[in-house]
């Protein structure tokens, strides 16, 4: 029997990669997305239900299409800075929308969810690497909305028997090595794509002295003065979701579980720029600006529990190989790069 999975927010970066991973595993994929930040062409070939998780009518309509075996929930607003300046849509979508989706699932008799969470639920690190026992004290509204959804899942497990696994990512990076999906954010705020965009500008003949790449702070208490982050390839994230889904489908989850997805090692901003120079062959320059408020010096995840329980092991551990997957796709797309 072919298993059926509803991928909520499946037209976004990680969601679209997940659709391909599920299809590769022989599962039937249906996407629910309002396309506010996702892209319909990212899920071409899959059934797309254009709907909004904040709408009870939309959720009921989508969940009545067929009997889904599993729900994977990626639909979230995820810009930290935007969540600070305009928190209302974050609470409306990430919290109220999740509650609406959960209500619809209970009404439809669905009791299994894999939830896309984040290391932002931890807040400022009190110890590194950060494991699942680390205090959860977010420092921005985005983190609070994700923590609120996690708490709802814990409470719904007790009250309604809803089984869930929350996966707390550190920094998602890379793209499908087969070129079937990529990362598209407007505006782009993630470091690695911004570095590669600068490389693409140079490849197209841009002046290195006119760099648009900004490094926020070079006076952190780290070896080179710049922030350190833990990067996880999107394909490794998707494999973890697949393993979590199988754990749920096998009846091995009792309540609400949560696991970190991190490589356990970090790279500084300057190390990331050096890696991109090697991968692209471009003399990438940068400008230094003052630190941004709330940026911790280092965020490194302890993924030992996911390795032990889910049998998950990252395959893409080097930053050069992670960046290579994105650079290859950029060249194919002709994003300012000679073919």
Q: What is the pLDDT of residues 248-284, one digit of tens each?
A: 999 999 999 999 999 989 999 999 999 999 999 999 9
Does residue 142 carry a catalytic annotation? Answer: yes
Percent of the chain with pLDDT over 70: 99
Which residue in 80, 104, 133, 89 sits closest to 296, CA to CA? Answer: 80
Judge whether residue 103 has pLDDT over 50.
yes
Which residue in 261, 282, 268 sits closest to 319, CA to CA? Answer: 268
Rounded Cα distance, 51 and 248, in Å = 25
**Active-site position among 90, 142, 156, 286:** 142
**149-193 pLDDT, tens per residue?**
999 999 999 999 999 999 999 999 999 999 899 998 888 888 999
- 141 membership: H or E segment, kind and range: helix 141-160
Mean of the per-residue pLDDT values for the chain? Answer: 95
- 215 membership: H or E segment, kind and range: strand 214-216
DSSP β-bridge partners for residue 171: 231
Q: Which of 22-31, 111-120, 183-192 has the lowest mean pLDDT?
A: 183-192
**Burial category of 96 from C-beta neighbours within 10 Å (exposed 0-12, middle 13-18, buried 19 and up):** middle
pTM: 0.95
9 secondary structure, DSSP code: T
Q: How confident is the model at residue 335 (pLDDT cuts 50, 70, 90)?
A: low
Which residue in 109, 106, 29 sits closest to 74, CA to CA? Answer: 29
């Amino acid at each position: 029997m072919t298993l059926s999975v509803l991928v909520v927010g499946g037209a976004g970066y990680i969601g679209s990669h997940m659709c391909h991973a599920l299809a590769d595993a022989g599962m039937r994929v249906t996407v629910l997305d309002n396309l506010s930040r996702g892209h319909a062409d990212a899920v071409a070939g899959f059934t797309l239900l254009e709907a909004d998780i904040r709408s009870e009518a939309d959720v009921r309509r989508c969940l009545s299409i067929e009997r889904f075996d599993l729900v994977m929930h990626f639909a979230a607003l995820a810009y930290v800075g935007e969540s600070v300046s305009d928190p209302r849509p974050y609470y409306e979508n990430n919290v109220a929308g999740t509650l609406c989706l959960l209500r619809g699932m209970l009404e439809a008799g669905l009791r299994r969810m894999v939830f896309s969470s984040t290391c932002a639920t931890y807040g400022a690190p009190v110890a590194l690497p950060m494991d699942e026992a680390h205090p959860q004290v977010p420092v921005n509204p985005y983190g609070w909305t994700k923590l609120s959804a996690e708490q709802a899942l814990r409470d719904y497990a007790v009250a309604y028997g809803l089984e869930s696994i929350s996966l707390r990512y550190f920094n998602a990076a890379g793209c499908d090595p087969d070129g079937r999906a990529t990362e598209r954010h407007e505006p782009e705020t993630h470091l690695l794509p911004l570095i590669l965009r600068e490389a693409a500008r140079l490849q197209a003949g841009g002046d290195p002295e006119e760099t648009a790449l900004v490094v926020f702070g070079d006076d952190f208490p780290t070896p080179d003065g710049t922030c350190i982050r833990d990067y996880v390839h999107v394909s490794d994230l998707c494999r973890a979701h697949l393993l979590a889904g199988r754990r749920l489908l096998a009846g091995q989850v009792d309540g609400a579980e949560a696991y970190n997805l991190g490589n356990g090692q970090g790279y500084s901003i300057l190390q990331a720029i050096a890696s991109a120079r090697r991968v692209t062959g471009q003399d990438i320059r940068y400008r230094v600006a003052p630190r941004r408020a709330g940026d911790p010096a280092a965020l490194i995840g302890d993924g030992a529990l996911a390795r032990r329980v889910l049998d998950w092991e990252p395959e893409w551990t080097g930053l050069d190989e992670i960046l290579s997957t994105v650079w290859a796709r950029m060249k194919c797309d002709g994003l300012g790069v000679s073919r």
